[in-house]
Structures are given as C-alpha cells and as structure tokens.
Amino acid sequence: MYQAVVSAMNHPDPYNPYMGLFNARSFASLGAQGVDIDVVSPRPRAPPVGPYSEYGRIPAEHDYGPYDVSYPRFAYLLPQKLFKYTLSSRSIQKMLPAYLEANVATPDICHAGHIHYDGYGLLPYCRENDIPLTVMGRGKILNNYHDLATVSQRKIRATLEYADGILCVSDSLAQIAQDIVDEPKATVLPNGADPSRYPTENESQIRSEMGLDPETTVVLFCGGYTERKGIHEIREAVDDIDHDDVHMVFAGHYGDLRADLIDSLQASPVDSYQVLWEVPPLALRRWFAVADIFMLPSHAEGRPNTVYESMASETAVVASEVSGIPEQVADGESGRLIPPRDPGALAAALDRLIEDETTRNRFAENGLARLRSKGWTWEAHGERLADIHESILDGDWDPSRRTTPATHTDPLVKPT
C-alpha cells in the first residue's frame, strides 16, 4: 500500500465530537484498506476569553480510535465573513506545510477533506515536494463558487488545477468542478451509510423506551437550523400539518433559527414535537430507526449524508429537488422530491405520506434496496478512494473509471 497525509479542518475533536463526522468516516474507511494515514485537523488559535476560548482546550494530538489526529494551530480571523477566504486561508497555507515538514514523513500522496481550507492549505507543501493531491468537492464551495469574490475563486481554481483528482460527492458537483478546470480530473466519490448500524429490528422496543405509540407517525429532520436547510419552509409548512397522531423531531447542532422554529411549532397545530441540540450519533441512529418520514427541504446540497442514513434505516424521504438529491432519491419510488423554497409543496408531500402508510413502507423498502444496489456505503467509499490514489501513483488515473464494491461495514465500528 502507500502512505497518505489527509487533512480536514472540519473533523471531530474531544470537545466537538459531532463536527465533520463524514470526514472521520471517510478517513477511517481509507485506513481500513491498509493505507498508512497521517491525519491533521488544523484548529484556530484560541483567544484567552470569549466563545472561541474553548479551542485552547483541544489537545495537540488525540487518539480518535481508527487513527491518531494532530490539531496544529493557525490564525483564524474574525469576523469570518470578512477574513475567511483571505487572511485566514493565507495563515493556514503558511502553517500547514511547515508543520508537515517538521512532524510527518513525506507521504506518497496528500488528500484534502475539502477544497478550502484543506486543499488550498496543502497546495504549497505538495508543490514543493512534488506530491500528488486529491481533494473532496462538497456542496457549499462548489455550489457557491460563482458567487464568491474573485480572490477566493482564484484560490479555489489554483487548488483544483494542481490537484490530480477532484473527488465530488455528486454528479452535479463534479460537473461544476470540471467546468472550472480544463483537464478532465473530476469524478464522483459518494459518501454512504451502513444499514447494519441502524437498529430498525428494535423499533418497537425503542419506541416504547421513547414513550412513542407504535401507531404514531414520526417525522424527522436532521441538519442545521439555518435558512439554507429549509427551516423557514418548515416553519410555514407546520401550519398545515394537522394530524392527531404525528410526532415531529428536529435534530441539529448548529444554526441560529432553532428558537424561531420552536416559536412556529408552538403556534402550529402540531401538538407533539421535540427540537433537539447536539444529538449523539448513537441516539440519532435510534431516531432514524423509528422515523417513518425524513424531511430535508434544503436550498442547496451535495449528496447529503442524512438521505443515505434515511435509506439505510428504511425511512421514506421528502426532500428538495436540488443539486445531488435527485441522484439519491428516485421520485415516486424511494421518496418524494419537491421544489425548493416551496412550503406548500413540503406540507402537501408530508400530509400525503402521513396518511398513506402503504406508500411510506414502499418508499422505505425501495430506498434500502437502492442504497445496497448502488454500493453507497463507507467501505465502498474507502475502496474507491484507495483505488483512485493507487491509479494516480501508478500513472494510469482515469476519472471516468468507476468501481462498485459489494458488501460493506462501517470502519468506525470496531469488530465485537
């Protein structure tokens, strides 16, 4: 096998255990293929007081489980809107190469969990040492690329032009990335979910423990309490959800619209609901296991992991027809796709599925079958990523070539 340096600023740490779990699962799946990985997760230098002072408690290194993580520090200037893609990115690009030169053996390849900061931060190190680079293309940067400032576009373009592979989580993002660069190098590398991690066989017992009646229809939202995730549309849609036996559950760990959502629910006909904060992964999987409907009225996405989780847990999906979601959800077969920014369509789709258990069950079964047939799991992700890296190192990388591994397990779950 080969040796890789992988970087993701968005990664769990001892004080932010739910941040960037998709990156952690991606890196673990790569390591499970026998790749020797050094993981770095840059963190801002902490001010002595204030809401960001907790960064000072993050250790320099931490045993994450499947691998060790280093947390080197860089200057992250506030407010983010003014400095995020300018001075802060310059700081990480200066810090990261120096840190790697001093602390890590020169790898065969570097891999970035995001184009920016991670890919841009690794760029001078890879150039200086003539090391190949792959970058993950996720939703926010690529979907918003043409709206960014010119200086930000230049940095992203420079990263993509150097990279040997641009690995995007959806076809729609791969097309955006390929339009930015001349040489064909963008391909699809999906995330995934493992059905065995969702305790659907214990649904009755879990419902009993949660105090939920077996006949109650559970509608779940999981994501940020933000405008981009469709919280305003949900706030309007709940006014039209008037059923006696419905329980709505909201699980998020960021966003400033949580209080507004609670206000809307209190004024709506919905009598039974929970608006949760920082739900641990095990508890979240239990909610997916008991949920009947998952809703995600986002304005923009890549291929959201929560849709994969819904499919893995046999949960019918109602989601916006944006970005990579139509690549995941077969409308009318494994879920309902609705126009974005349309609370009426969201309410109507939820209302129909709440009343129609037969269709819900059909969507749930078809979603699980689709996940399995497509190989949308973390083991498949790791196999594909290792295959891409080896092809790049061997000099026969073809972005159009795809592999579809068969059975999968989750790399973060240790064997019993």
Position 404 pLDDT exceeds 70:
no
Question: What does the pLDDT read at residue 87?
Answer: 75
Closest CA to 27 of 107, 116, 102, 136: 136
H-helix or E-strand containing 124? helix 120-129
SS3 labels along 155-224: HHHHHHHHCCEEEECCHHHHHHHHHHCCCCCEEECCCCCCHHHCCHHHHHHHHHHHCCCCCCEEEEEECC
Mean pLDDT across the chain: 92
Question: What does the pLDDT read at residue 412?
Answer: 45
pLDDT digits (tens, 9 = 90+) for 2-40: 999 999 999 999 888 888 999 999 999 999 999 999 999
Residue 111: strand, helix, or coil: strand
pLDDT digits (tens, 9 = 90+) for 322-349: 999 999 999 999 999 999 999 999 999 9
Q: What is the DSSP string of 41-65?
A: --EEPPPSSSTTGGGGGS-SEEE-S
Rounded Cα–Cα distance for residues 392 and 108 (Å): 10
Residue 9 per-residue DSSP state? S
**Mean pLDDT of all residues in 371-392:** 96
% of the chain surpassing 90 pLDDT: 85
Helix locations, 242-341, DSSP H: 258-266, 281-290, 305-312, 325-328
Question: What does the pLDDT read at residue 413?
Answer: 41
Question: What does the pLDDT read at residue 48?
Answer: 80
Question: What does the pLDDT read at residue 85?
Answer: 54
Burial of 267 (0-12, 13-18, 19+ CB in 10 A): exposed
Question: What does the pLDDT read at residue 409?
Answer: 42
pTM for this prediction: 0.91
Rounded Cα–Cα distance for residues 364 and 336 (Å): 11
Rounded Cα–Cα distance for residues 376 and 404 (Å): 9
Closest CA to 26 of 100, 112, 141: 112
Position 158 pLDDT exceeds 60:
yes
